[in-house]
Structures are given as structure tokens and as C-alpha cells.
Amino acid sequence: MHPHPHCSIVPPHLLAHLAAVDDPRHAVAARAARRALVQLDPLLADRAEAFAAPVPPRTAVGRPLERRISDAGGQEILPGTLIRGEGDGATGDEATDEAYDGLGATDALFREVYGRASIDDAGLPLAATVHYGQQYDNAFWDGERMVFGDGDGDVFGRFTRSLTVISHELTHGFTQYSTNLVYEGQPGALNESLSDVFGVLVEQHHLRQTVDQASWLVGEGVFTDQVQGQALRSLAAPGTAYDDDVLGRDPQPATMSDFVITASDNGGVHINSGIPNHAFYLTALHLGGYAWERAGRIWFDAAVGGGIQANSGFRLFADVTQEAARARFGQDSEEYEAVRQAWAKVEVTG
């Protein structure tokens, strides 16, 4: 089995729309999308195999945060040249400094709120490579490091601009060391959903935003002003993140009535993740305040509690989150009721 999963932020259905565009105004973006798609097929296969692999044992606990940012210099060779280490000052290169800050913000949520020492709970150093490839339209976690392209400049800008892109992809590492959900079908959609959930929580925690103040968007800022859209996904309103002549319309469903059956994208993992995403949003909305404190704590407890199996579907995940809410807050608590109602509203439970 391949040891390194490649979990990319831009889903294949969106790249396919862009790759098929026959308009001279978007020729650069179309070529970039076609190159990204060619790379994405083996990446998806590697990712599915890697998430099915046994999780290595954790060793040293309590190591302080250690970040390492490297520069690929426009090549597709990893890791690139180390240009900023932990404690080093800003370099002046936007992608480098955004990656450094984003890794720090992600670590801060897991460490300060949930008491987790890095994504593996053993102080794993957080590594990233910027300026990967030429006009590379994606960002991904490869099992060891974050990798960021600079975008094509027409449809996509640099991917480090969005904190939720950084935190989403790094959360795939957290999943790799916790639930290790199989990257296909409903388990794969849950895998993607966990990254979206903790991705937005990182941003909210960093900005100190309440449920009502937050945007609940994943990938806000990666589109150029040529695109009719806010972001790649919306937890508050799945299916509304973008509606563009070039990219098409956001296909995410919010309820099981609109569940998408497809053979592409490992069974629609980037599409059907809208359903558990929306369940988390509804839970947080019901509880109010800071989402990372109660709703996020329940999802975190569920992820690390051992009740989620590698092949878990939505219904089992709903049961595990309800049990996590009951265990922490009580059967008669507002928190338990919020989780129960949320899964019922998205039609996963009765």
C-alpha cells in the first residue's frame, strides 16, 4: 500500500468543468485544470489505499509546535528548499508566511482547545511546501506534508490565501491518525466532512467568531474576481458556494433526499460531505456561541473515542456523535438534543 494519502482541496468535478471550457479567455485555466486532473486520478487511488492502512503507533507526547516551510520553486519535487523554520521571522513571501501562520492556527485549535499535541497527538512537526508546480490548481496533504499550488491566476489564485484550505487539508492528517476513515462512499464523505468541520473551526477560533459571525465557508478567497462564487463549499447552505458559467454550480446536497450516487470522486466524497457538514452546522447553530466549545468538542470526542470504524456510514457516525454528546453533557442536555435534531433534519436518522 502507498504510505502517503494525497487529499486535494479542489474536487475532480470542479476541475472537470474547468478543463472542458472552450473559451480563449480561460485557455490558461483550462490547461491548468487538465494537468491537475491528470495528476488527481493517481492521487485519489493513493489516498484511498493510504487511509485503509494501519495507523502507526504514537510515541513522544507533548512536543511543542514545530513548523517547516519549504519552497518547490515552481517544480513538482518535494519537499523543496527549507525557507522558514519554527520561530523564524516572516520572509516577505506571501505564500510562505500564510502557510506558516495557517499551520500555527490549525495547531492552536487542536492543542489549546482539545489538548491534542499536533495532529497525531505526539508532537508531529507540521511541514508544508509552497510554489508547487507551474500554475498548479490545487493544494493537498500527502500523508507527510501540506503542498500548495499558486493557481492559474484566471480562476484560482494561490491556495495559501484561504486559512480554511490550510486547515481543511491538515485535518486530513488528524483523520489519518484518528478515525482513518476509508476514502470512498459515505466513509469518504465523512472523511471530507471532518476536514471541512475542523477547517472552519480553525478559522472561527483564530478570528474569535461566534456561530452567527462566521461565514461557514471552505476555500473562501481561492477564486479570483472572475468567478461567480464565494468559496468551494458552504456548511450553512450546501449547494450555494458557487454558481458560475465556467465552473458550473455547487452540487453539494444538504439532506439525504438529494444524496448523489456517482462512481466518480471515489463515490462522491466531496459532494455528499455536504450532508454531515450541514448536520454539524445545525448543531452549532442550535447551541450558539463559539462553535468549537460544544459542537466542536462533540465531533472531536467522536473522532478520537474509538466508536467510528474505518467503514462507518452516516448513520453510525450520527449515533457516535449523539453518544459523545450524551457522555460529555448528559442525556437531557441541550447539546444532546441539538445533535439529535440536526441528524434528523438532514434525514440521516428518523
How many Cβ atoms from other residues are within 10 Å of residue 214's Cβ?
19
Alpha carbon distance 190, 63 (integer Å)? 29
Ramachandran angles phi, psi of 129, nearest 5°: -125, 130
What's the rounded Cα separation, in Å, for the pair 8 and 246?
20
Q: Distance between CA 64 and CA 118 in Å, rounded?
A: 8
Neighbours of 207 (CB within 10 A): 12
Q: Are strands 146-148 and 126-130 parallel, antiparallel or unpaired?
A: parallel
The answer to whether residue 270 is catalytic is: yes
- How far is 255 from 194, CA to CA, in rounded Å? 17
Q: Is the peptide bond before 5 cis (omega within 30 degrees of 0)?
A: no
Q: Assess whether 169 carries a catalytic annotation.
A: yes
Q: How many CB atoms lie within 10 A of CB 213?
A: 10
Interaxial angle between packed helices 295-304 and 314-329, expressed in degrees from 0 to 180 and rounded to the nearest 10: 110
Catalytic residue, candidates 98, 169, 192, 203: 169
Catalytic residue among 26, 168, 172, 270: 270
Pairing relationship of beta strands 7-8 and 146-148 according to DSSP bridges: unpaired
| The three cell numbers locating residue 324 | 459523545
Query: How crowded is residue 22: how many other Cβ atoms within 10 Å of its Cβ?
Result: 7
- Which residue carries 471541512 as its cell? 196
**Cell digits of residue 341:** 435534531
For the chain, report the end-to-end CA distance as a whole number of angstroms: 39
E strand intervals along 6-72? 7-8, 67-71
The distance of Cα 227 from the centroid of its chain, to the nearest Å, equals 21
**152 near 137, Cβ under 8 Å?**
yes
Active-site residue numbers?
169, 270
